[in-house]
Structure 1
Amino acid sequence: MRRFPSLALSLALLALLAGCAGPMRAWNIAPGATRDEVLARAGRPSRVVPLPDGGQRLQYSMQPLGHYVFDVDLDAAGKVVRSRQVMTAAEFQRIVPGQWTREDVLREFGPPAWVDGVRSFEGEVWTYRWKEGNEPMFYWVYVDPRGVVQRAHPGMEFINAPNDRN
């Protein structure tokens, strides 16, 4: 006869898993924490990006399937300056078409969920997934062949819309 783990054992395993490092734990890390403390809490970042002030950004991206990207900024001494979830309307509104470059977008948001093209635009259309409240959204960034952002705007991600069921 096969035995199933007891409820107490199951709860202990869940508690252990909840304590593991992971990208969701990169959110709200207190300023002053060390790089080693961030790595112990959140694990290895998806990208490490040098910052102009000599510090670095530990970027924890859940793209292409997830809706979150956490940036943890460290100063030159390796201490946390700030941590934040950057897949928000306020963060996206910082993008200035004609001024921001491909590198600026990558530094702030990481690689997109996917890259497409459209006939009406010569260049790449980068798609990021994010949520506004509980609503899944897209944010499109149009990057021209010179690497300059020309347009950026949000749109709704329709999941299980009536036309998806055909």
Structure 2
Amino acid sequence: MRRLLALSAAALVLAACAANPFNADGIAVGASRQEVLARLGPPSRTVAIPGGERLQYSLQPYGQFAWMVDLDAAGRVTRARQVLDAVDFQRIVPGQWTRDDVEREFGPPALIERVGSWDGPILTYRWRDTDRSDMFYWVYLDGRNVVQRAHPGMEFINAPNDRN
């Protein structure tokens, strides 16, 4: 019985880590930069934001989560959140946002692709929708790195072989 309880507890811990691999849910507003680094480790990338800096913790190219931890000029947390979701992607404004804006808000993409029918790079982000569907979000840039369009699409993992 004790072994079963230990295995159940281990499974719960692993499930919690899979949902939030950086354990960033409990980052408190006002925490110091050092406290964030002690809890989450080194960020994937650090970018400047007005009045401070943003620590980016991204699981791209294979993961589906990216946490942004915003710090003020004094190095204190002002906000921490997971941004690869439908609500945050809706903030992208075609014709106004640039590649720098997209990468500042969402971190580095999983892929940077090119296709013959589009004259510019396409940033591809992997994410998970609210119904836990595996998704892509594509951001199409023109030759000046300005967003021209952006939209979600399904990521078919372990899909049946449909070539027959």
| Both structures adopt the same fold (TM-score exceeding 0.5) | yes
Is residue 108 of structure 1 aligned with residue 108 of structure 2? no
Q: How many residues align?
A: 154
1:126 maps to which of 110, 123, 126: 123
Is residue 160 of structure 1 aligned with residue 163 of structure 2? no
Runs (4+) off by over 6 Å: none
Is residue 141 of structure 1 aligned with residue 106 of structure 2? no
Is residue 86 of structure 1 aligned with residue 83 of structure 2? yes
> Deviation of residue 165 (structure 1)?
8.9
Alpha-carbon displacement from aligned partner over 1:58-94 (angstroms, at most 9, x marks no partner)? 0000000000000000000000000000000000000
TM-score by length of 2: 0.85
TM-score by length of 1: 0.84
**Secondary structure of 1:30 counterpart:** coil
- The runs of 5 or more residues in structure 2 that have no matched partner are 15-19
> Deviation of residue 154 (structure 1)?
0.2
**Secondary structure of 1:100 counterpart:** coil
Change (3 A) 1:70 1:165: farther
- Partner amino acid, structure 1, of 2:83: V
- Partner amino acid, structure 1, of 2:67: F
Correspondence list, 1:1-166, <5 A: 24-53=22-51, 55-133=52-130, 134-163=132-161
Q: Distance in 2 between matches of 1:86 and 1:26?
A: 12
- The runs of 5 or more residues in structure 1 that have no matched partner are 1-6
Change (3 A) 1:119 1:165: closer
* Corresponding residue of 1:3: none
Q: Distance in 2 between matches of 1:67 and 1:164?
A: 25
Q: Distance in 2 between matches of 1:58 and 1:164?
A: 42
- Partner amino acid, structure 1, of 2:115: V
- Partner amino acid, structure 1, of 2:82: Q
> Deviation of residue 23 (structure 1)?
5.2
Q: Distance in 2 between matches of 1:164 and 1:131?
A: 23
Q: Distance in 2 between matches of 1:143 and 1:28?
A: 35
